[in-house]
Amino acid sequence: MEKHRTPKKQGLAITAEALFMLNLLLPVLPLFALGIIYFRHKNDPSLFVRSHVIQPWIAALISTALFFIINLVAALAGGYTSLDNLISIHSLVALEVYTLLVILPFLVPGLLSLTKAMSGQAWNYPIIGRFL
């Protein structure tokens, strides 16, 4: 593991982790910015940069896919029929399911990873890091 991190690399890692955290609250938009960072730095020789760029990108893709799946199920169950019916029982259940099954499990590793990025340490996400 590298001892010295340049401020640029540490700032890049913090940005990637912060965009992942933002993607949990506002899916899709931060994913594009995180994708740009990922495609620019996915082959960086630094383990620190790779661990803080590739893993949030994969986690953001998974959480965004789950967001769309949960909302698709809610739409097919009869929610989102019109703008007047946007806040229905189906949309509220979808929001609750997304909060409990996506935001909370992804929030803890994201916070730990953001903390490690701020302290200049490489870190692996619990499940995603095993496959990289």
Q: What's the pLDDT tens digit per position in 73-117?
A: 888 877 766 666 667 777 788 888 889 989 999 999 999 999 999
- pLDDT range class, residue 1, cuts 50, 70, 90: very low
Q: What is the pTM (predicted TM-score) of this model?
A: 0.86
Average of per-residue pLDDT across 64-74: 89
Residues written for the chain: 132
CA-to-CA distance for 65 and 67, rounded, in angstroms?
A: 5
> Hey, what are 104's tokens?
């909370």
Question: Nearest CA to 69 among 99, 98, 40?
Answer: 98
